[in-house]
Every structure is written in structure tokens, then in C-alpha cells.
């Protein structure tokens, strides 16, 4: 007998769909569990008692334009399947909203562990932490060195003017989620728009590259699969590096952080300078004006969290921890302003 359906995943409709599209159909009753930890798209473990899969779908209710694109996420993961960038195999995609109320896709379940908190990071030896940190950057470098045409993603983005459009996009996303005034938020967006760098190259970028968006194989200290590709495109690779920096060490000393840990403060993991130096060495790319990229990353994360706060105020979130998300936004904006003012380490090349 199928278990009760979690919010957003009607198991009766889903079982009928999967039984039709899977080779051999389902082998037993379908069960699903919402995976804790996600604050954006909803992710569920699925099983028929014999095989495990993962389901991804947009959040319930209010969503940010282009931030929850299931088809885009599935396409880029399929394109990367034969590259050095490890991704799960896509089992099926469904664009028909009549099945679950929104588009979704199902992918293979990759064995491994997701590390989210400082407590998780501290379970690793310094030696293991260093190896994971190295692979974290090496996978990002491998992604950025792929040619979009070689993997069928020539039309996946418009790299010319990408950074300028990104600033406009996230300023617009902030307007779409406006439920309160946040000091400095509008001003930071305007300051970023006035100082947009000109990138030296264009790459396939992840859009949300951080340690808790990947499955790790702790047995051999490597990245087993990179997840959450819904923001991927072709654009400025330093956008990825700036965001990775914020998620790596940008939360340091922040009260009320409910988003994730700070691996850059844990023994064995790279600190902020080492993270950027590793990337620069492996890729050969320059990291000019890195302060701007970090400031933009703070702004982007603040807008994302403000969108989640907006959904929380409307009663449209699923899971725990959403009541504290909004408290982080003002400090993220403050740190973004500080970064744009040149407060980061001297890493320009």
C-alpha cells in the first residue's frame, strides 16, 4: 500500500506516472520522504522497495521567475553526464503540471553523504577535509573549462552582458518578493549595477555552487555528484567562485545562521584565500575585481532568502527553519556592502 503523500508529491498520481514511464514499471508500492535541508526547490526520496530515486519539483505557491526551472536543471545534468563533472543520471522529466501541479523530474539516487553544518564538517579529519576541499574546487574548475558547444549547450545562455543582466534580474526578483524594507538592499543593487566587471571568458556555470549542493563519497574524499542545477547557464565563471566563497566562509561570525555551515573556518578545509588561489592555479583564470563578485553573491543570496521569507509570511513553505531565514537578510546586505568597499583579502591578479 502506498504511504501518505507528503506535501507537493501526490503519490497516487506519481505512481501512475512512474509505472508508465519506467522500464518494467514500479516493483512495489511507492513511498516518498521530503528531504530536509532544502530551502528552495522541494526534493524527495522515492522508493518502490527495490530502487531509490530522487524527485525534484518547484516550491509550493509563490516562486521566483527562472529560479525554479525543472526543465533547465534536467537538461544541463543530462548534458554533463559524460564529462568530468559528476552528476546523477536523469530517469525522467515531466513538464505536465497535471501530474503534481508543477513540472518535475526524477533522477537516480547517488550513494554518499551531504555535509551541511559545522558539526558535519568537524567529523572529518583535517586530511580528509583538505582532499574534499581540493576536489570541490577541481570539479568547479572542470565545469568552467568545458566548452558549451562540446556538450550541446551552445544555446544555453547569452554570455555577452551576462553580469549586467544578472544584477538587473536579482534586483527584479527582490521587487517581486517585496514584503518589507531592508536597509541598504536597493542601494547595494544600484552600486553593483554601476561597477559591473567585463569577464575574460564565458563558461558553463552552476549558479549555486556550494558544498551542501553535492553528494560526497567520504570513503575516498571526493565529490560523487553535484546537485541543484536550476540556476545553471553560460556566463561569467567568477559568479560561481564568488558565490562559492560566500557559502564557504561568508557566514563566519553571523548570528542566527540557519542556512549552512562555514567549512572555511574548519581545520583542514581551505580558508578563503586558499580557496581562490586553488581555483586560480587549476584554471589559469584571473580573479580581478573579486570583491565585486563576492558583493554580488551576498546580494543574490539575500534576495533568495528574502524570497523564502516572502513565501513563509504567506504560509507557503514546507519544512522547518523558515521562521528565522528573514533575520539573516539585513546582515547579508551589510556584508555585501563591505565587500564592494574592498574589505576582502588582496587577491587580484
Q: DSSP for 118-134, please give it.
A: HHHHTTS-HHHHHHHHH
3-state secondary structure of 312: helix
Does residue 175 sit in the same domain as residue 249? yes
Regarding whether 57 and 200 lie in a shared domain, the answer is: no
CATH code where residue 96 lies: 3.30.200.20
Residue-level pLDDT at 132:
98
pLDDT given at position 62: 42
CA 98 to chain centre: 27
Q: Confirm whether 345 is domain-assigned.
A: no
The per-residue pLDDT for 47 is: 97
Q: Print the domain residue range for 96.
A: 11-108
Count up the domains in the chain and report the number: 2
Low-confidence ranges of the chain (pLDDT < 70): 1-3, 36-40, 61-68, 314, 316-323, 343-349
8 A C-beta contact, residue 231 and residue 170: no
Last residue of a domain, one of 44, 79, 108: 108
pLDDT of 342 reads 82
> Tell me, what's the pLDDT at 255?
81
pTM of the model: 0.87
Q: What is the pLDDT of residues 333-345, one digit of tens each?
A: 999 999 998 866 5
Cβ of 152: how many Cβ atoms within 10 Å?
12
Residue 127 sits in the same domain as residue 263: yes
CATH code for position 206: 3.90.1200.10
Same domain, 76 and 137: no
Do residue 71 and residue 150 come from a single domain?
A: no
Residue 290 pLDDT: 95
- Residue 89 pairs in a beta bridge with none
Cα(143)–Cα(85) distance, rounded to whole angstroms? 6
The reply to whether 164 and 268 lie within a common domain is: yes
Q: Which of the listed residues 82, 108, 134 is the one where a domain comes to its end?
A: 108
Q: 155 and 95: one domain?
A: no
Let me know if residue 39 belongs to a domain.
yes
Asked if residue 260 and residue 195 are part of one domain, the reply reads yes
**Does residue 6 fall inside a structural domain?**
no
The three cell numbers locating residue 64: 521566483
Q: Assess whether 122 and 96 both reside in one domain.
A: no
**What is the pLDDT at residue 313?**
72
In this structure, the answer to whether residues 321 and 189 fall within a common structural domain is yes
Q: Is residue 349 part of a domain?
A: no
**Grid cell for residue 49:** 522497495
Whether residue 103 is found in the same domain as residue 137: no
> What's the 3-state SS for 240-280?
HHHHHHHHHHHCCCCCCCCCCCCHHHCCCCCCHHHHHHHHH
pLDDT at 60: 77
Residue 285 lies in a domain: yes
Residue 347 lies in a domain: no
Q: Does residue 70 form part of some domain? A: yes
Q: What is the pLDDT of residue 64?
A: 46
Calpha distance 329→180 (Å, rounded): 11
Beta bridge partners of 34: 44
Distance CA 347, CA 39 (A): 32
Q: Could you tell me whether strands 214-217 and 90-94 are parallel, antiparallel, or unpaired per DSSP bridges?
A: unpaired
Report the pLDDT value the prediction gives residue 118, as an integer from 0 to 100: 94
Evaluate whether residue 113 is within a structural domain.
no
Amino acid at each position: 500500500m502506498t504511504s501518505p503523500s507528503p506535501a507537493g508529491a501526490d503519490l497516487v498520481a506519481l505512481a501512475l506516472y512512474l509505472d508508465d514511464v519506467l522500464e518494467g514499471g514500479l516493483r512495489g508500492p511507492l513511498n516518498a520522504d521530503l528531504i530536509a535541508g532544502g530551502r528552495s526547490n522541494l526534493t524527495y526520496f522515492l522508493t518502490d522497495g527495490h530502487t531509490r530515486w530522487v524527485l525534484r519539483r518547484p516550491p509550493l505557491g509563490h516562486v521566483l521567475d527562472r529560479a525554479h526551472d525543472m526543465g533547465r536543471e534536467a537538461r544541463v545534468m543530462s548534458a554533463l553526464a559524460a564529462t568530468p563533472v559528476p552528476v546523477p543520471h536523469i530517469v525522467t522529466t515531466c513538464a505536465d503540471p497535471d501530474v503534481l501541479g508543477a513540472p518535475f523530474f526524477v533522477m537516480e539516487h547517488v550513494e554518499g553523504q551531504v555535509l551541511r553544518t559545522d558539526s558535519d564538517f568537524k567529523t572529518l579529519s583535517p586530511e580528509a577535509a583538505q582532499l574534499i576541499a581540493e576536489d570541490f574546487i577541481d570539479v568547479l574548475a572542470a565545469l568552467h573549462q568545458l566548452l558549451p558547444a562540446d556538450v550541446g549547450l551552445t544555446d544555453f545562455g547569452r554570455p555577452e552582458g551576462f553580469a549586467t543582466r544578472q544584477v538587473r534580474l536579482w534586483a527584479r526578483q527582490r521587487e517581486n518578493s517585496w514584503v518589507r524594507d531592508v536597509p541598504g538592499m536597493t542601494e547595494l543593487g544600484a552600486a553593483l549595477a554601476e561597477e559591473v566587471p567585463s569577464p575574460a571568458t564565458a563558461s558553463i556555470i552552476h549558479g549555486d555552487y556550494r558544498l551542501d549542493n553535492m553528494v560526497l563519497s567520504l570513503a575516498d574524499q571526493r565529490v560523487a555528484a553535484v546537485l541543484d542545477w536550476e540556476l545553471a547557464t553560460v556566463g561569467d565563471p567568477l559568479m560561481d567562485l564568488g558565490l562559492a566563497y560566500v557559502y564557504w566562509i561568508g557566514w563566519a561570525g553571523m548570528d542566527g545562521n540557519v542556512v549552512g555551515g562555514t567549512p572555511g573556518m574548519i581545520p583542514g578545509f581551505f580558508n578563503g584565500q586558499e580557496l581562490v588561489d586553488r581555483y586560480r592555479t587549476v584554471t589559469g583564470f584571473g580573479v580581478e575585481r573579486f570583491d565585486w563578485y563576492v558583493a554580488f553573491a551576498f546580494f543574490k543570496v539575500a534576495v533568495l532568502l528574502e524570497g523564502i521569507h516572502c513565501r513563509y509570511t504567506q504560509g507557503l513553505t514546507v519544512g522547518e527553519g523558515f521562521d528565522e531565514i528573514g533575520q539573516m537578510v539585513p546582515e547579508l546586505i551589510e556584508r555585501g556592502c563591505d565587500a564592494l568597499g574592498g574589505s576582502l583579502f588582496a587577491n587580484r591578479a
